Amino acid sequence: MQVLEIITANIDLLALLFLLLFIVFFVLFTYRAKKGARVHLRQNRLYARLLNLAAQAVETGKPIHLGMGIGSLSGGIGPNVGTAESFIALTVFATLADRARGAVRPLLGTTADGTVLAAALGIVHRRNAQNGQAGLALNKAVRFYGPDPLAYAAGVRQTLAGEKPLANVLLGQLGAEGLWIAETNIKNTPAQLGGTTPPASSALLAVSLDQMVIGEDVFAAGAYLGRIAHLGSLVTQDLMRVVIILSILVGVILASLGYWV
Amino acid sequence: MNRILSLAVAVVCGVIVLLDFFIPGPETAVASRILVEGVTILAVFGLLLGLLNLLAVHSQRLVKGEERRGLSGVLILGMLGALIVGIVAPASPANRWVFDHLYAPLQSSMTALLAFFAISAAYRALRIRNIDALILLVISLFMLFTQLPFGQTLWPELSAIRDWLLAIPVTAGIRGILLGVALGTITTALRVLLAVDRPYLGE
Tell me the shortest Cα–Cα distance from A103 to chain B, in angstroms.
19
Task: Establish if B127 touches chain A: CB-CB under 8 angstroms.
Answer: no
**pLDDT, tens only, A67-102:** 999 998 886 545 557 889 999 999 999 998 888 777
- What type of residue is B203? E
For residue B153, the distance in angstroms to the closest alpha carbon of chain A comes to 30
R_g of chain B computed on alpha carbons: 26
Count CB pairs under 8 A between chains A and B. Answer: 190
What H or E segment, with its residue span, contains residue B67?
Answer: none
Predicted pLDDT at A76: 57
| Cα distance between residue A139 and residue B56, in whole Å | 7
What pLDDT does residue B21 have?
84
Rg (CA), chain A: 21
Interface of A with B in 192-221 (CB under 8 A): 197, 199, 202, 204, 206-208, 214-220
Tell me the residues of chain B between 128 and 187 that have a Cβ less than 8 Å away from chain A.
133, 136, 173-174, 176-181, 183-187
Domain ranges of chain A: 3-37+230-256, 45-219
CATH architecture label of A45-219 = 3-Layer(aba) Sandwich (3.40)
Q: Which helix (H) or strand (E) holds B148?
A: none
Identify from B197, B198, B200, B201 which residue to disrupt to test chain A contact, counting A C-beta atoms within 10 A and taking the largest count. B197
Pairing status of strand A167-173 against strand A191-196: parallel
Using 50, 70 and 90 to split pLDDT, how confident is the model at A39? confident
Q: How confident is the model at residue A231 (pLDDT cuts 50, 70, 90)?
A: very high
| pLDDT (tens digit per residue) in B141-193 | 888 888 887 777 788 888 888 889 889 999 999 999 999 999 999 999 999 88
